Amino acid sequence: MTGAPPAVAGRVAVIGGGPGGLYAAALLKRHEPGREITLWERNAPDDTFGFGVVLSDETLGGIESADPEVFAALRRELVRWDDIDVVHRGTTLRSGGHGFAALGRHRLLELLHERCRDLGVRLRFRTEAPPAAELARTHDLLVAADGVHSRTRDTHRDAFRPTLTTHRCRYIWLAADLPLDAFRFEIAETEHGVMQLHAYPFGGGACTVIVEMRDEVWRRAGLDRCDEKDAAERCGAYFADFLGGRPLRSNQSAWTAFRTVVNERWSHGNTVLIGDAAHTAHFSIGSGTKLAVEDALALAGCLRDTPALPDALRAYEELRRPAVASTQRAARASLEWFENLSGHVERPPYRFAFDLLTRSRRVTHDNLRLRDAGFVAAVEAEAGIPPGTPPMFTPFRLRGLTLRNRVVVSPMDMYSARGGTPGDFHLVHLGARALGGAALVMTEMVCVSARGRITPGCTGLYAPEHEDAWRRITGFVHEQAPGTAIGVQLGHSGRKGSTRLMWEGIDQPLPEGNWPLVAASPLPYHPGVSQTPEALTAAGLAAVRDDFVRSAEAADRAGFDLLELHCAHGYLLSGFLSPLTNHRDDAYGGTLAGRLRYPLEVFDAVRAVWPAHKPMTVRVSATDWADGGTGADDAVAIARAFAEHGADAIDVSTGQVVPDERPAFGRSYQVPFADRIRHEASVPVIAVGAISSWDDVNSLILAGRADLCALARPHLYDPNWTLHAAADQGYTGPGAPWPAPYRAGSRKPPTGRSA
């Protein structure tokens, strides 16, 4: 017989008496009753900030499994509801099937205090914790649950490497004695600007009320000069109809700007961060207490199951980090939606409500239809979508070109041309995707000169043989996939040219046979590695502009239906737009107007020769993802300028302008930029960037965030992606006709046979 393994971390210190710290202490003591656990909280036991907290069914399930006694106590207190009310300009729209559970924060803390005392955790209230370094020396484990302003995190900043981002809205936590049976979002359009209210029940006939607005609205309203009592009264006046004469009450309430906390590491030696000390996620997705409690569950479980402390802390972080990152991406999308609320309020009521409900990308068109089919049907009816037609299969018109659905095969460099000439590979590649149901198939970036190529494998439109080869491809598309449009993307590599094929070393110079580069300024892409380009002179600017014009004329003769000017990703025209790559001191540099001058000159010259009935779009990088570079405000101004010059749509991408960028990758992560451009610049947009499912496309189109969706990798995985999306949704209408030879495959084959 062998004895039980020794307990990991026999002596534990916990800093912070919020739900995360208390529950971590309780679970650690429950798993190992012999542990000595002390928790420090500088406030009194009955002090608490805020009012109600929301817990998900997933979190409650974890609590039930780990500690049935706490779960039973919580279950007796929880208020449950399924509905969300969205109030838009006096119209209240209700969506059901969402499922929430909440209780008062004060009551939650009381239950956790009782549980800790029953288990033998020492609770030291009204007591500042000793310094983190001292506790780490005198204990086996230090759990830092000391919140968004964590002193522990700051003490070991070099180890945890935190990034703290302060956002653009101010908010305040209040409450009202008002019974609600739904989560409520309400908008107040005031003389100072748009304000929003988030409210939900938490028991005893009371509800939490959060009032939020942009910082500039808060200042214009004079709320920055109000004390706590005045702030509650002023907020009550803005939402008087909702409150029905009831006052808003506060509880040490203060206006706050939300801060997103991200740490590169969550543990250092025997010190570990949980809850807001490790990460924060905006309250609009109801995640703060949920994340802290789930951290406590994971940490206690890893310490129970892993014999060595370093391994247990590593396991905890590996287990929690993916879930937290996903939540933070959703929360970031949600908070940015509310930051830009003024750009959404003009939408019709149902589309506004749908946009709000799907803002974080966690609730989608299909998911919401499962929850409340009637609500989604009302949204689609308001948008004019025929019954039984998924939003992605509605037509869209650009000048004289009508696209039968909203799916675009995004430009994808194939690096498979010889001397700029597309060959059989391109015929099969583009032809297969044209047969696959997308409304518009785009070429890769087609270069306007030999020196404008990225690699020796890039296609061009600067020689007669190129034009002939492209005509063969467009002819196939028009003859074999009638109704499918094919577009050409024209560009010049600028400082990113003369490099190897992608799979031989992306952005790496050719080992031999390099050609000279030109750019806005003589700045190499990779300093010390890349070739230094020559800054374009007046003569060079004119010559490159004329190259674009000749290629556009050839594209028309070759039979293309649409032309896109590539002004993104750090290539030549993009290099003029970004202040990071344009250091010119002439008329083509300096201010944004100066940096726009040359791309607009090229656009105007191309538009002048491109047939009037054919649409022309522009791809831009809406942000450089780098300090000092192009940002979202610039992107709106850039898009507006191109639209004023005749662009029919803006293809909104991001980044790839400088190598030290820091993109915020995630599902549909570039869509908010497209959404903002669409509404502020009043121009149709093509959304791109990690849009991978037909559900995403339906959601974006119906919400009004995009007019078209361009997908790249999904079309590499499945050339028939659009047709399969139609089959998956049971759609057989005109937005996705199967080619006659393929009709026998229009139904998904069975995957197996039962005996």
Write out the catalytic residue numbers.
Answer: 571
The whole-angstrom separation of Cα 224 and Cα 173 is 15
Distance CA 435, CA 476 (A): 10
SS (H, E, C) 321-382: HHHHHHHHHHHHHHHHHHHCHHHCCCCCHHHHHHHHHCCCCCCCHHHHHHHCHHHHHHHHHH
Sign of CA dihedral 79, 83, 86, 91: negative
- Which amino acid is residue 694, in one-letter code? W
What is the gyration radius of the CA atoms in the chain, in angstroms? 29
User: What residues have CB less than 8 Å from 163, skipping those under 6 apart?
Assistant: 261, 262, 263, 264
Closest CA to 143 of 31, 13, 262, 322: 13
Q: Which residues of 289-324 are buried (b: 16+ CB within 10 A; e: fewer)?
A: bbbbbbbbbbbbbbbbebeebeebbebbbebbeeeb
Query: Residues 6 or more apart from 146 whose CB is under 8 A from it?
Result: 15, 16, 21, 129, 152, 153, 277
- β 182-190/162-176 pair status: unpaired
What is d(CA 721, CA 732) in angstroms, rounded to the nearest whole number?
15
Q: Is 211 helix (H, G, I), strand (E, B) or coil?
A: strand
Provide the 8-state DSSP code for 7. P
* Per-residue exposure over 50-63, b if at least 16 CB sit within 10 Å of its own CB, e if not: bbbbbbbeebbebb
Counting Cα atoms < 13 Å in the Cβ hemisphere of 652 gives 34
| Tokens linked to 101 | 């559970």
Handedness of CA 115, 118, 124, 125 (dihedral sign): positive
Give bridge partners of residue 621 from the DSSP assignment. Answer: 653
Q: Answer yes or no: are the C-beta atoms of 380 and 115 closer than 8 Å.
A: no
